[in-house]
């Protein structure tokens, strides 16, 4: 496994543990209906949907031009990075989590932008079906 993948795996684990401590359900590598894949999608206890993109290094962030598309599929968009990541690279208007393999903390809150009710229902249903299929070992 290359170094970027190792860092990504560690950050995904820490962010997922943090979100779970908030009572959220988390699905990793969540595929949107557009075909794009989020690193993490979280369903919070109040029904909000958070999209979290993990960036293993500055080059990983610079090479990703697709992340603005994720806004229309969530109530809040976040980046998750490690402590050594140059945080000033992360643009305003998105949240920022800093993680390690065990936990994460919020460095900057994500602005909320509520999904339309029909989009919320569709994404929540897709989230539930994805989670159930993974539990059943039928993940595709």
Q: Tell me the per-residue pLDDT of 59-78, one tens digit each, with 9 for 90 and over.
A: 999 999 999 999 999 999 99
pLDDT surpassing 60 at residue 36: yes
**Are the beta carbons of 30 and 37 closer than 8 angstroms?**
yes
User: What count of Cα atoms within 13 Å lies in the side-chain half-sphere of residue 31?
Assistant: 7
Does 108 fall in a domain? yes
Query: Confidence band (pLDDT; 50, 70, 90) for 138?
Result: confident
How does the average pLDDT of the chain come out, rounded? 95
pLDDT surpassing 90 at residue 40: yes
Does 34 fall in a domain? yes
Rounded Cα gap, residues 121 and 140, in angstroms? 22
User: What count of Cα atoms within 13 Å lies in the side-chain half-sphere of residue 64?
Assistant: 21
Q: pLDDT value at position 140?
A: 53
User: What count of Cα atoms within 13 Å lies in the side-chain half-sphere of residue 112?
Assistant: 5
> Total domain count for the chain?
1
Does 140 fall in a domain? no
Does 31 fall in a domain? yes
Rounded Cα gap, residues 86 and 67, in angstroms? 18
Q: What is the pLDDT of residues 96-133, one digit of tens each?
A: 999 999 999 999 999 999 999 999 999 999 999 999 99
- What 8-state DSSP symbol labels residue 84? T
Does 38 fall in a domain? yes
Share of the chain above pLDDT 90, in %: 94
Q: pLDDT value at position 52?
A: 98
Rounded Cα gap, residues 74 and 45, in angstroms? 15
Tokens, residue 122 = 């569709």
Domain that holds residue 45: 3-135
Does 42 fall in a domain? yes
Does 127 fall in a domain? yes
* pTM, entire model: 0.93
**Are the beta carbons of 136 and 52 closer than 8 angstroms?**
no
Helix (H, G, I), strand (E, B) or coil at 127: helix
Does 16 fall in a domain? yes
pLDDT surpassing 60 at residue 90: yes
């Amino acid at each position: 496994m290359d170094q970027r993948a190792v860092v990504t795996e560690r950050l995904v684990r820490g962010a997922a543990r943090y979100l779970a401590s908030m009572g959220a359900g988390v699905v990793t590598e969540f595929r949107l209906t557009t075909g794009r894949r989020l690193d993490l999608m979280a369903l919070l206890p109040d029904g909000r949907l958070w999209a979290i993109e993990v960036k293993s290094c500055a080059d990983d962030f610079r090479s990703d031009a697709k992340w603005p598309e994720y806004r229309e599929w969530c109530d809040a968009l976040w980046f998750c990075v490690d402590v050594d990541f140059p945080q000033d690279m992360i643009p305003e208007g998105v949240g920022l989590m800093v993680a390690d393999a065990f936990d994460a903390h919020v460095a900057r809150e994500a602005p909320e932008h509520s999904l339309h009710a029909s989009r919320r229902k569709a994404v929540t249903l897709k989230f539930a079906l994805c989670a159930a299929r993974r539990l059943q070992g039928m993940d595709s």
